[in-house]
């Protein structure tokens, strides 16, 4: 019965997604109406396998298509405030089915939601200031109330609409800007976690920009920096902002988070660090380095390493007043040939405490679709294969990864061993009228052995995204 229901729901979601696509393609005079590692497409080469530090303080890119190019041409002589404005639509249809079972309990979460976001940003006012907003929506299609907490809708399976972004930006120079208000920040431990219907967004202020050359060996090193203060967060399945302390499990505090970081790029090398400080809660330091090499003949490689150190601050409110500290190290290697990549990774967590991620997804290489593999004292290994099918004339890519972790640290409870298999399939056509389309299927299955008991679980995600720049 369980497998039959599972397959029926998956089939229904696929057919519905195809139906959405067919409806979009039928719209006259327009291009069709839309991500931690799982938020992004499968990389085709090691060059495209961006690490967490490479994404810090990068402004979102506009969608690739424009539905009304003639209107922009008509307004080319109007003031910058109108001429350079942008309006875009990001549609998303998402089915998620998760089940886990052990001798003591079982969990089932299931929903199919549709919605997306509408974004608007002005051009520069007085050649200095731009204003922007993003409305996020999610509405239930299939959402049994007894199977809630999927992250796609509100916890009770109701739909929502929320202005997750509402900001102003002062553009001091071409590559430097000050942002104030509700905004989407993408950093290793404070980020969008955009693997549901809506991302996490934040309220605060920041300054960011780029210095130096163009980052090539000939043009000299490039340095990207960013810093600011964040006082509130809107979780993925919420319509209100809450304090950063409340999101970290301390509702009695209103502490915010100060952030400062940077990344230097020069040729094939990247090295960066970022620090997060919250009074009486938590300090997080994260550093990462990466270097790649092209051996020609279709052979490319990438080697990367990461380190995080976390400790309590002030009154240690996250641990009932008891100070704590922990850390984790990770490393990985990508070996690419033509359109295929072999990836191998390893991580080790301090035995005193697991890694905390109250404001983001996990940035570690050994984090999987379902499990994070960062319990106290846990060591984990990962091996994966991905392949782009572009060489066969198909705008698709497939990948499979295996993860295995183990720990006997007292802080993690009785000794355990856990494993997970993940499979991902992406289809991203490059035809003009389909350029913003991204269809994705993800499936993961995990097993945990602990104290003579076995916990099994599996998850299926079917996602249809389409991004369209209306103006």
pLDDT band at 62 (very low <50, low <70, confident <90, very high): low
Per-residue pLDDT tens over the stretch 396-431: 999 999 999 999 999 999 999 999 999 999 999 887
**In the chain, what percentage of residues exceed pLDDT 90?**
72
* Lowest-confidence region among 196-205, 271-280, 389-398: 389-398
For residue 247, count other CB atoms closer than 10 A to its CB: 19
**Domain harbouring 197, CATH code:** 2.40.160.10
Q: How far apart are alpha carbons 422 and 274 in whole angstroms?
A: 30
What pLDDT is recorded for position 19? Answer: 36
Rounded average pLDDT over 438-462: 96
* Lowest-confidence region among 119-128, 146-155, 210-219, 456-465: 210-219
Residue pair 465/438 in contact by the 8 Å Cβ criterion = yes
Q: Copy the structure tokens of residue 231.
A: 């006082």
Q: Copy the structure tokens of residue 74.
A: 């008509």
Per-residue pLDDT tens over the stretch 328-345: 999 999 999 988 999 999
pLDDT band at 36 (very low <50, low <70, confident <90, very high): low
Residue pair 230/271 in contact by the 8 Å Cβ criterion = no
Rounded average pLDDT over 204-220: 90
Q: How far apart are alpha carbons 466 and 90 in whole angstroms?
A: 6
pLDDT band at 65 (very low <50, low <70, confident <90, very high): low
What pLDDT is recorded for position 174? Answer: 76
What pLDDT is recorded for position 35? Answer: 32
Q: Give the contacts of 318 (CB within 8 A, at least 6 positions apart).
A: 248, 249, 250, 281, 282, 312, 324, 356
Phi, psi of 10 (to 5 degrees): -60, -45
Rounded average pLDDT over 105-117: 96
Residue pair 348/328 in contact by the 8 Å Cβ criterion = yes
* pLDDT at residue 61 tops 80: no
Mean residue pLDDT of the chain comes to 88
Q: Give the contacts of 452 (CB within 8 A, at least 6 positions apart).
A: none
What pLDDT is recorded for position 98? Answer: 97
What pLDDT is recorded for position 276? Answer: 98
* pLDDT at residue 11 tops 50: no
Number of domains within the chain: 1
Q: Copy the structure tokens of residue 289.
A: 């380095």
What pLDDT is recorded for position 15? Answer: 35
The DSSP H or E segment spanning 444 is strand 437-450
DSSP letter for 318, please.
G
* pLDDT at residue 224 tops 50: yes
More confident residue, 31 or 114: 114
* pLDDT at residue 462 tops 90: yes
Complete DSSP assignment for 12-38 = HHHHHHHHHHHHHHTSTTS------GG
Among 346, 335, 371, which Cα is nearest to 36's? Answer: 371
What are the start-end ranges of the E strands in 102-143? Answer: 106-121, 129-142
* pLDDT at residue 173 tops 90: no
Rounded average pLDDT over 144-150: 94
Q: Residue 149: which domain range?
A: 2-469
Q: How far apart are alpha carbons 260 and 385 in whole angstroms?
A: 35
More confident residue, 326 or 24: 326
Rounded average pLDDT over 203-227: 92
What pLDDT is recorded for position 194? Answer: 93
CA angle 312, 317, 319 (to 5 degrees): 70
Phi, psi of 245 (to 5 degrees): -65, -40
Among 59, 51, 37, which Cα is nearest to 265's? Answer: 51
Per-residue pLDDT tens over the stretch 357-369: 999 999 999 999 9
* pLDDT at residue 27 tops 80: no
What pLDDT is recorded for position 63? Answer: 65
């Amino acid at each position: 019965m369980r497998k039959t229901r599972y397959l029926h729901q998956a089939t229904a979601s696929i057919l519905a997604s195809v139906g959405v696509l067919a409806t979009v393609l039928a719209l006259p005079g327009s291009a069709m109406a839309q991500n931690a590692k799982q938020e992004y497409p499968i990389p085709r080469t090691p060059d495209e396998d961006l690490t967490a530090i490479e994404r810090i303080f990068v402004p979102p890119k506009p969608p690739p298509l424009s539905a009304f190019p003639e209107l922009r041409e008509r307004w080319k002589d109007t003031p910058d405030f109108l001429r350079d404005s942008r309006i875009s639509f990001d549609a998303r249809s998402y089915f998620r089915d998760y089940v886990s079972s052990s001798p003591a309990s079982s969990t089932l979460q299931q929903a199919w939601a549709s919605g997306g976001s509408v974004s608007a940003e002005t051009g520069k006012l007085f050649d200095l200031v731009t204003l922007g907003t993003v409305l996020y929506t999610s509405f239930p299609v299939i959402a049994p109330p007894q199977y809630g907490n999927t992250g796609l809708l509100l916890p009770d399976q109701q739909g929502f609409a929320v202005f997750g972004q509402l900001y102003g930006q002062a553009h001091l120079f071409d590559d430097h800007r000050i942002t104030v208000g509700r905004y989407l920040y993408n950093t290793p431990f404070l980020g969008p976690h955009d693997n549901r219907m809506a991302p996490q967004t934040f309220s605060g202020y920041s300054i960011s920009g780029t210095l130096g050359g163009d980052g090539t060996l000939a043009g000299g090193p490039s340095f990207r920096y960013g810093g600011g203060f964040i006082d509130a967060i809107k979780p993925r399945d919420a319509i209100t902002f809450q304090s950063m302390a409340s999101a970290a499990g301390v509702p009695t505090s209103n502490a915010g988070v100060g952030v400062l970081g940077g990344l230097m790029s020069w040729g094939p090398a990247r090295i960066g660090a970022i620090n997060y400080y919250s009074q009486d809660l938590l300090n997080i330091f994260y550093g990462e380095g990466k270097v790649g090499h092209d051996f020609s003949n279709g052979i490319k490689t990438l080697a990367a390493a990461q380190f995080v150190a976390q400790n309590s601050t002030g009154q240690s409110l996250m641990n009932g007043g008891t100070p704590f500290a922990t850390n984790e190290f990770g490393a990985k290697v990508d070996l690419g040939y033509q359109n295929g990549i072999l990836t191998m990774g390893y991580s080790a967590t301090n035995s005193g405490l697991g890694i905390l991620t109250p404001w983001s997804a996990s940035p570690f290489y050994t984090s999987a679709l379902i499990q994070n593999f960062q319990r106290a004292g846990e060591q984990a290994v990962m091996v994966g294969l991905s392949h782009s099918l572009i060489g066969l004339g198909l705008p698709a890519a497939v990948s499979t990864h295996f993860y295995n972790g183990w720990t006997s640290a007292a802080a993690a409870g009785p000794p355990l061993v856990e494993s997970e298999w993940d499979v991902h399939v992406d289809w991203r056509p490059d035809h003009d009228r389909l350029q913003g389309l991204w269809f994705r299927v993800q499936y993961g299955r995990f097993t945990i052995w602990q104290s003579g008991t076995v916990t099994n679980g599996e998850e299926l995600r079917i996602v249809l995204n389409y991004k369209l720049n209306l103006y």
